[in-house]
A and B are shown apart, each in its own frame.
Chain A
């Protein structure tokens, strides 16, 4: 494990470097507080630190305070190692954000035992963060397809519309619905239906850019938000997505199934002042028209109900 040792006194620094290296740590050294802070702020920097109190640049407690201000970063376990032995100093050091306090000259076995305690706490913290991230993923993603769930994709649409207005850019919103999906479930069972949904989700993600957003809006309905995508590209992108689903049958436990999808498409530039609720209503209306037009097609929503299909664009 990587550990930072910071001390301006070279003899102490050398002693710590050697004994920690022997104990199997990957030792990083710093001879002043600013360099110590720099090391601790690096991505994948040390998560364990032994800091001297008196150092040029920044003293140990000041380094602790700066590290603790970075609330989103992984936790760093800090031990202040100092010859300041008054109770006031111990309290001051711990209140600056240090986790432990060791008085020089230290007993090497005690130092190693305290560092093992630090490692235990870091492992516990890692497990808690992992559990939190799992919970966060479950709360924001659909369990079947792993796409964003309805609540998340609508929130993201809200955010994207705000950003689009602020930057005077354009986003394309698509509402996609599998055609005759009820028949898949009724004829082949729900397990096959689930296989179809998972594969369609995979193809949707494969048809958009990494920074576009795709969510499962309902049973067999999907919502996609394509950032910085111009109106002129909207139907082209929708057709690519439709083809990604329609062009190749989906392999299921009951054999390959031909599945198609209808899409309602909307460019935010055509509805510059609308909120997400209005946008969703309009794109849903365009999807309805795509279904009415025979399914397996895309319809672009236009203000005043002027709906365009790819064929009309070509005229």
Chain B
């Protein structure tokens, strides 16, 4: 809640250094690894689809859709406590809202790299036994 607002506006926050904030994520799913596995499976399908849509939005210079798709990505990543990637999606959302076309493509690539980094962490998180 409020912590997220701080994350978005305070880049020095240490939680941003974490690819996935696993304790927070486990709290969110009530330590239910089965549910976590299901969410990660959904993410594996939904993220590439949304990223692809984002790239199409950028290619068409459709800033309204850039904002909307980035918003959806931000929500999904924040839901997985992937704060750094969520912050990047939030930057993309702001760029779409502000009509800033300068580095949208680069930023989308940054987001893709950050998500590639978090996938192993998500994988390991779902392999650990229930506490």
Contacts and interface: CB of A to CB of B under 8 A. Distances in A.
Contact of A15 (B1, B29, B68): B29
Contacts of A14: 35, 38-39, 42
B75 interface: yes
Contacts of A85: 4-5, 8
A83 interface: yes
B56 interface: no
B41 to A, nearest CB: 10
A83 B78 contact: yes
A85 B35 CA distance: 27
Given A10-B42, A10-B46, A83-B74, A15 B4 contact: no
Interface in A75-103: 83, 85, 102-103
B29 to A, nearest CB: 7
A219 interface: no
B18 to A, nearest CB: 14
Interface residues of A, number: 21
B27 interface: yes
Interface string A1-35: 00000001111101100110010000000000000
A244 B124 CA distance: 81
Interface residues of B, number: 26
Interface in A134-169: none
B9 to A, nearest CB: 10
B30 interface: yes
Contacts of B28: 15, 105-108
A121 to B, nearest CB: 20
B3 to A, nearest CB: 9
Contact of B1 (A10, A22, A103): A103
A104 B35 CA distance: 18
A18 B32 contact: yes
Contacts of B4: 83, 85, 103-105
Contact of B75 (A18, A22, A83, A110): A83
Nearest to B80: A11
B42 A22 contact: no
A171 B24 CA distance: 71
B72 interface: yes
A231 interface: no
A196 to B, nearest CB: 65
Contacts of B35: 14-15, 18
B81 interface: yes
A103 B76 contact: no
Nearest to B93: A83
A12 B1 contact: no
Nearest to B78: A105
A106 B80 CA distance: 11
Contacts of A8: 72
Nearest to A13: B42
Contacts of B29: 15, 18-19
A305 B94 CA distance: 86
Contacts of B79: 11-12, 15, 104-105
A54 interface: yes
B58 to A, nearest CB: 19
A14 B38 CA distance: 9
Contacts of A9: 46, 72, 75-76
A80 to B, nearest CB: 13
Contacts of B27: 107-108
A314 B1 CA distance: 84
B78 A54 contact: no
Interface in B70-125: 71-72, 74-76, 78-81
Interface of A: 8-12, 14-15, 18-19, 22, 54, 83, 85, 102-108, 110
15 contacts: A9-B72, A11-B42, A11-B76, A14-B38, A14-B42, A15-B79, A54-B72, A102-B1, A103-B1, A104-B4, A105-B78, A105-B79, A106-B1, A108-B28, A110-B1
Interface of B: 1-2, 4-5, 8, 27-30, 32, 35, 38-39, 42-43, 46, 68, 71-72, 74-76, 78-81
